[in-house]
Structure 1
Amino acid sequence: MLNAKAPGEDGNLVGLSDDIIFDQLITLGIAGSDTTANTLSWILYLLDKHPGIHRRVLQELANADITPDQPVSVKQANSLKYLTQVIKEILRMFPPVPALSKTCGKTCVLPGGYIAYEGMRGLINVWSLHHNEKVYPDAYSFNPDRFSEENAKSIPEGAWLPFSSGPRACLGMSVAMIEMRVVLARLLSKYEFPDGWRQRGHV
């Protein structure tokens, strides 16, 4: 970023301002890593507490020919449908950003007759949204099957918001999902958790 240049308004190449570089570092260093690390921690914790789900994940890794001694390809990572369900369920249960701030673009009437005026700021309680029993029965239980291809169709649009939505949605959603699949595939194929990260085959 320090060396990057792009045409400015006058057509000459210019570098990024210090403010833009600072904002990008915050995005990459905090929003793009801390949130993912927290999610991975919850996944490893809950897989340990739910051995049946853990076994299904391990079987899926084996079916995709993922082994401890070989890098995970993007093709292999994208084939892990059940692991993706696990990730989505953890993001529902423990959203890394539990609340989102939005600004009203134009005056409108919300359901229930409430008026939101242009310029007003609202706070979306993602945690409560993700634990709404009307949408997610038994919302505090860990159930990756909520996000199976068939069951996911019954989840209303906007009821799952770990990456926000609309024009201000997280730009790194696709990268984060691939990253988590690859990291989990590598870790789970090689180690047993949580007992000291024992290497598989050497217990």
Structure 2
Amino acid sequence: MLAIHQDIQEKVLDEVLQVKADEESVQLYHLPNLNYLERIIKETLRLFPVVPFLLRRAEGDIDLGEFTIQKDCSIAINIFHLHRNEKYWPNALKFDPDRFLPERAAKIEPGSFIPFSHGPRNCIGMKFAMMEMKTILATVIRRYRLFSSYKNLEQIELDSSIFLKPRHGYKLTLELRN
């Protein structure tokens, strides 16, 4: 998404330069201050959840009004479609990191953004994963300008088995910054 949205990439670079100043590498204490970068990551995970679906087993009967999911039934949760559902995400196919501004994030329907699953079986490493993504992206964006031959989200055809990935590769080019 950074390679497609050059204006957003430049804002991320500005934030990284402001937060880490002249220091050579990104440090742990920088990460809480990379707020815009975190919003970019969350919006990217909304549009492209690493794991596009979850499977769960009903531990008891679940009354949904019109029907009931019976105990021990398998439940498939389609994260990919949930994250692109217009009911929860107006203009769902638009890449908009500002969806995750604190005042807007507070209004996100619980359970409608679950890139690391949800509830008692959510990913135990989600905080570490976010720290790792911020560190890697801040390091890369500081050293390289990213480009893609994809011009918009609609051009990216996806495949999913266990993980979601672009059918024709990432089509990413890096250019060393001065």
Q: TM-score of the superposition, structure 1-length normalised? A: 0.72
Which has the higher relative contact order, 1 or 2, with Cα contacts under 8 A spaced 6 or more apart? 2
Per-residue Cα deviation, 1:63-120 (whole angstroms, up to 9, x for no partner): 10255x712111102210110000000000011111100111111202x332111111
Runs of 4+ in structure 1 off by over 2 angstroms are: 194-199
Per-residue Cα deviation, 1:128-185 (whole angstroms, up to 9, x for no partner): 1101112111111111000111111111100001110111111111111000000001
Structure 1 counterpart SS, 2:20: coil
Gaps of 5+ in 1: 1-45
The equivalent residue for 2:26 is 72
How many angstroms apart in 2 are the aligned matches of 1:48 and 1:180?
A: 16
What RMSD in Å do the two structures reach over aligned CA positions? 1.5
Trace 1:22-171 onto structure 2 (pairs within 5 A): 46-67=1-22, 70-110=24-64, 112-171=65-124
Gaps of 5+ in 2: 148-171
Of stretches 190-199 and 78-87 in structure 1, the one that deviates more from structure 2 is: 190-199
Identity %: 37
Q: Is the 8 A contact 1:163 1:173 kept in 2?
A: yes
Change (3 A) 1:66 1:103: farther
TM-fit CA distance, 1:199: 2.2
Q: TM-score of the superposition, structure 2-length normalised? A: 0.81
Counting strand residues as a fraction of each chain, which structure ranks higher?
2
How many angstroms apart in 2 are the aligned matches of 1:105 and 1:66?
A: 51
2:123 is equivalent to residue 193 of structure 1: no
